[in-house]
Protein backbone atom coordinates (compact mmCIF):
# COMPACT_ATOMS: atom_id res chain seq x y z
CA UNK A 1 0.00 0.00 0.00
CA UNK A 2 1.33 3.43 -0.98
CA UNK A 3 2.20 5.77 1.84
CA UNK A 4 -0.07 8.89 2.02
CA UNK A 5 2.98 11.16 1.66
CA UNK A 6 3.81 9.48 -1.66
CA UNK A 7 0.32 10.23 -2.92
CA UNK A 8 0.70 13.88 -1.91
CA UNK A 9 3.99 14.12 -3.79
CA UNK A 10 2.27 13.04 -7.00
CA UNK A 11 0.70 15.58 -9.35
CA UNK A 12 -2.74 14.08 -8.76
CA UNK A 13 -2.38 14.30 -4.99
CA UNK A 14 -1.22 17.89 -5.14
CA UNK A 15 -4.09 18.81 -7.44
CA UNK A 16 -6.56 17.33 -4.94
CA UNK A 17 -5.05 19.30 -2.04
CA UNK A 18 -4.99 22.43 -4.20
CA UNK A 19 -8.66 21.91 -5.08
CA UNK A 20 -9.64 21.46 -1.42
CA UNK A 21 -7.68 24.53 -0.29
CA UNK A 22 -9.18 26.54 -3.15
CA UNK A 23 -12.74 25.56 -2.25
CA UNK A 24 -12.05 26.50 1.37
CA UNK A 25 -10.96 29.95 0.23
CA UNK A 26 -14.04 30.24 -2.00
CA UNK A 27 -16.30 29.61 0.99
CA UNK A 28 -14.54 32.40 2.87
CA UNK A 29 -14.89 34.79 -0.09
CA UNK A 30 -18.64 34.12 -0.18
CA UNK A 31 -18.98 34.56 3.60
CA UNK A 32 -16.91 37.74 3.48
CA UNK A 33 -19.05 39.22 0.70
CA UNK A 34 -22.30 38.40 2.52
CA UNK A 35 -21.01 40.02 5.70
CA UNK A 36 -19.98 43.18 3.85
CA UNK A 37 -23.40 43.47 2.21
CA UNK A 38 -24.63 44.65 5.60
CA UNK A 39 -23.27 48.05 4.58
CA UNK A 40 -26.67 48.52 2.89
CA UNK A 41 -28.35 48.15 6.31
CA UNK A 42 -26.37 51.04 7.76
CA UNK A 43 -23.56 51.59 10.23
CA UNK A 44 -25.29 49.90 13.16
CA UNK A 45 -25.59 46.57 11.31
CA UNK A 46 -22.09 46.48 9.83
CA UNK A 47 -20.29 47.79 12.92
CA UNK A 48 -22.27 45.42 15.12
CA UNK A 49 -21.24 42.52 12.90
CA UNK A 50 -17.58 43.57 13.06
CA UNK A 51 -17.80 43.95 16.85
CA UNK A 52 -19.31 40.46 17.18
CA UNK A 53 -16.33 39.00 15.32
CA UNK A 54 -13.83 40.94 17.43
CA UNK A 55 -15.55 39.75 20.62
CA UNK A 56 -14.41 36.22 19.69
CA UNK A 57 -10.63 36.81 19.44
CA UNK A 58 -9.61 33.16 19.68
CA UNK A 59 -11.92 32.04 16.89
CA UNK A 60 -11.02 35.12 14.86
CA UNK A 61 -7.29 34.41 15.04
CA UNK A 62 -7.82 30.72 14.33
CA UNK A 63 -9.77 31.74 11.23
CA UNK A 64 -7.10 34.23 10.16
CA UNK A 65 -4.23 31.77 10.61
CA UNK A 66 -6.25 29.07 8.86
CA UNK A 67 -7.02 31.34 5.90
CA UNK A 68 -3.41 32.46 5.56
CA UNK A 69 -2.27 28.83 5.72
CA UNK A 70 -4.79 27.79 3.06
CA UNK A 71 -3.80 30.69 0.82
CA UNK A 72 -0.07 29.96 1.21
CA UNK A 73 -0.61 26.25 0.53
CA UNK A 74 -2.76 27.01 -2.51
CA UNK A 75 -0.17 29.41 -3.99
CA UNK A 76 2.79 27.08 -3.35
CA UNK A 77 1.00 24.11 -4.94
CA UNK A 78 -0.04 26.22 -7.94
CA UNK A 79 3.59 27.26 -8.52
CA UNK A 80 4.89 23.70 -8.05
CA UNK A 81 2.37 22.21 -10.46
CA UNK A 82 3.06 24.90 -13.06
CA UNK A 83 6.82 24.30 -12.87
CA UNK A 84 6.33 20.53 -12.99
CA UNK A 85 4.17 20.83 -16.11
CA UNK A 86 6.78 23.03 -17.79
CA UNK A 87 9.58 20.57 -16.95
CA UNK A 88 7.50 17.75 -18.38
CA UNK A 89 7.29 19.64 -21.70
CA UNK A 90 10.44 21.77 -22.00
CA UNK A 91 9.78 22.51 -25.67
CA UNK A 92 6.83 24.84 -26.23
CA UNK A 93 4.09 24.08 -28.72
CA UNK A 94 4.92 25.38 -32.21
CA UNK A 95 1.27 26.23 -32.72
CA UNK A 96 -1.10 26.55 -29.78
CA UNK A 97 -4.79 25.98 -30.39
CA UNK A 98 -7.48 26.61 -27.76
CA UNK A 99 -10.49 24.51 -28.65
CA UNK A 100 -12.29 24.00 -25.37
CA UNK A 101 -10.22 26.10 -22.97
CA UNK A 102 -12.04 29.25 -21.88
CA UNK A 103 -10.43 32.67 -21.51
CA UNK A 104 -10.65 32.28 -17.72
CA UNK A 105 -8.79 28.95 -17.78
CA UNK A 106 -6.05 30.30 -20.08
CA UNK A 107 -5.45 33.30 -17.81
CA UNK A 108 -5.44 31.55 -14.42
CA UNK A 109 -1.83 32.51 -13.72
CA UNK A 110 -2.48 36.15 -14.58
CA UNK A 111 -5.76 36.37 -12.64
CA UNK A 112 -4.10 34.60 -9.72
CA UNK A 113 -1.29 37.16 -9.66
CA UNK A 114 -3.75 40.06 -9.89
CA UNK A 115 -5.77 38.51 -7.08
CA UNK A 116 -2.69 38.05 -4.87
CA UNK A 117 -1.63 41.68 -5.36
CA UNK A 118 -5.18 42.81 -4.61
CA UNK A 119 -5.33 40.78 -1.39
CA UNK A 120 -2.06 42.32 -0.21
CA UNK A 121 -3.40 45.78 -1.07
CA UNK A 122 -6.69 45.06 0.71
CA UNK A 123 -4.92 43.89 3.88
CA UNK A 124 -2.65 46.93 3.93
CA UNK A 125 -5.59 49.23 3.23
CA UNK A 126 -8.61 48.23 5.31
CA UNK A 127 -7.14 45.69 7.74
CA UNK A 128 -3.80 47.22 8.72
CA UNK A 129 -4.64 50.82 7.83
CA UNK A 130 -1.21 51.38 6.29
CA UNK A 131 -2.34 52.81 2.94
CA UNK A 132 -4.91 55.18 4.45
CA UNK A 133 -4.41 55.57 8.23
CA UNK A 134 -6.73 58.60 8.47
CA UNK A 135 -9.76 56.51 9.49
CA UNK A 136 -8.00 53.56 11.11
CA UNK A 137 -8.99 54.40 14.72
CA UNK A 138 -12.38 55.95 14.03
CA UNK A 139 -15.19 55.04 16.44
CA UNK A 140 -18.93 55.23 15.87
CA UNK A 141 -21.49 56.83 18.21
CA UNK A 142 -21.72 53.59 20.24
CA UNK A 143 -17.97 53.42 20.80
CA UNK A 144 -17.41 50.57 18.34
CA UNK A 145 -14.76 50.61 15.63
CA UNK A 146 -16.38 52.41 12.72
CA UNK A 147 -15.87 49.85 9.95
CA UNK A 148 -18.83 51.36 8.09
CA UNK A 149 -17.28 54.84 8.13
CA UNK A 150 -13.91 53.45 7.05
CA UNK A 151 -15.45 51.68 4.02
CA UNK A 152 -17.52 54.70 3.02
CA UNK A 153 -14.46 56.94 3.31
CA UNK A 154 -12.36 54.52 1.23
CA UNK A 155 -14.73 54.14 -1.71
CA UNK A 156 -15.15 57.87 -2.18
CA UNK A 157 -11.58 57.86 -3.51
CA UNK A 158 -11.47 57.16 -7.29
CA UNK A 159 -8.00 55.58 -7.06
CA UNK A 160 -9.12 53.15 -4.35
CA UNK A 161 -12.26 52.32 -6.33
CA UNK A 162 -10.18 51.60 -9.45
CA UNK A 163 -7.88 49.29 -7.47
CA UNK A 164 -10.79 47.36 -5.97
CA UNK A 165 -12.60 47.03 -9.30
CA UNK A 166 -9.41 45.67 -10.86
CA UNK A 167 -9.19 43.21 -7.99
CA UNK A 168 -12.76 42.10 -8.63
CA UNK A 169 -11.90 41.44 -12.27
CA UNK A 170 -9.08 39.15 -11.19
CA UNK A 171 -11.30 37.50 -8.58
CA UNK A 172 -14.10 36.88 -11.06
CA UNK A 173 -11.85 35.35 -13.70
CA UNK A 174 -10.14 33.14 -11.13
CA UNK A 175 -13.37 31.90 -9.55
CA UNK A 176 -14.96 31.32 -12.95
CA UNK A 177 -12.57 28.50 -13.77
CA UNK A 178 -11.30 27.49 -10.32
CA UNK A 179 -14.62 26.39 -8.79
CA UNK A 180 -15.60 24.10 -11.66
CA UNK A 181 -12.05 22.80 -12.06
CA UNK A 182 -11.78 21.99 -8.34
CA UNK A 183 -15.06 20.07 -8.33
CA UNK A 184 -13.90 18.09 -11.37
CA UNK A 185 -10.53 17.36 -9.72
CA UNK A 186 -12.33 15.94 -6.69
CA UNK A 187 -14.23 13.55 -8.97
CA UNK A 188 -17.63 15.13 -8.44
CA UNK A 189 -18.36 15.43 -12.14
CA UNK A 190 -21.04 12.97 -13.20
CA UNK A 191 -23.21 12.83 -16.28
CA UNK A 192 -26.31 13.79 -14.30
CA UNK A 193 -24.60 16.80 -12.71
CA UNK A 194 -22.32 17.80 -15.57
CA UNK A 195 -24.19 21.02 -16.37
CA UNK A 196 -24.39 22.01 -12.70
CA UNK A 197 -20.66 21.47 -12.22
CA UNK A 198 -19.82 23.52 -15.30
CA UNK A 199 -22.19 26.29 -14.24
CA UNK A 200 -20.88 26.39 -10.65
CA UNK A 201 -17.79 28.45 -11.46
CA UNK A 202 -19.45 31.18 -13.54
CA UNK A 203 -22.38 31.36 -11.10
CA UNK A 204 -20.24 31.76 -7.98
CA UNK A 205 -17.97 34.25 -9.76
CA UNK A 206 -20.92 36.35 -10.94
CA UNK A 207 -22.67 36.46 -7.56
CA UNK A 208 -19.51 37.29 -5.58
CA UNK A 209 -18.31 39.96 -7.99
CA UNK A 210 -21.75 41.54 -8.33
CA UNK A 211 -22.09 41.69 -4.54
CA UNK A 212 -18.68 43.29 -4.05
CA UNK A 213 -19.01 45.70 -6.97
CA UNK A 214 -22.48 46.75 -5.75
CA UNK A 215 -20.92 47.85 -2.44
CA UNK A 216 -18.10 49.76 -4.14
CA UNK A 217 -20.26 51.58 -6.68
CA UNK A 218 -23.12 52.29 -4.27
CA UNK A 219 -20.71 54.20 -2.04
CA UNK A 220 -18.84 55.87 -4.89
CA UNK A 221 -22.09 57.05 -6.51
CA UNK A 222 -23.42 58.38 -3.19
CA UNK A 223 -26.23 55.83 -2.81
CA UNK A 224 -24.70 54.69 0.48
CA UNK A 225 -23.37 57.57 2.58
CA UNK A 226 -21.57 58.03 5.86
71 found inside a domain? yes
Sequence-separated (6 or more) residues with CB below 8 Å from residue 111: 104, 169, 170, 171, 173, 174
Q: Dihedral sign, CA of 203, 209, 213, 214?
A: positive
Q: By the 8 A CB rule, do 15 and 181 touch?
A: no
Q: What is the DSSP letter of 223?
A: S
Q: Given its phi and psi angles, is residue 193 left (phi above 0), alpha (psi -120 to 50 degrees) or beta?
A: alpha
* Global pTM value: 0.88
225 found inside a domain? no
88 found inside a domain? yes
pLDDT tens track for 56-98: 999 999 999 999 999 999 999 999 998 888 877 655 544 445 4
**pLDDT (tens place) for every residue of the chain, 226 residues total:** 455 555 567 888 899 999 999 999 999 999 999 999 999 999 999 999 999 998 999 999 999 999 999 999 999 999 999 888 887 765 554 444 545 678 888 899 999 999 999 999 999 999 888 998 877 778 888 888 899 999 999 999 999 999 999 999 999 999 999 999 999 999 876 766 788 999 999 999 999 999 999 999 999 999 999 7
19 is in which domain, residue-wise? 11-220
Q: By the 8 A CB rule, do 43 and 140 touch?
A: yes
The torsion of the CA quartet 123, 127, 130, 135, rounded to 10 degrees, works out to 140
85 found inside a domain? yes
Determine the pLDDT at residue 89. Answer: 64
2 found inside a domain? no
> What CATH code is carried by the domain that includes residue 81?
1.20.1300
6 found inside a domain? no
Domain count, the chain: 1
176 found inside a domain? yes
150 found inside a domain? yes
Amino acid sequence: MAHPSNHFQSSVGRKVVMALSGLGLVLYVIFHMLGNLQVFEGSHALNGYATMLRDMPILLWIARIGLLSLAALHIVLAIQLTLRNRRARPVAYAVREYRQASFASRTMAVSGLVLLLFILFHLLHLTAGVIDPSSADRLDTEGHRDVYGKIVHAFQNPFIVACYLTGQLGLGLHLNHAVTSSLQTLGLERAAFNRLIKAAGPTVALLVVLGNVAIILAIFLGIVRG
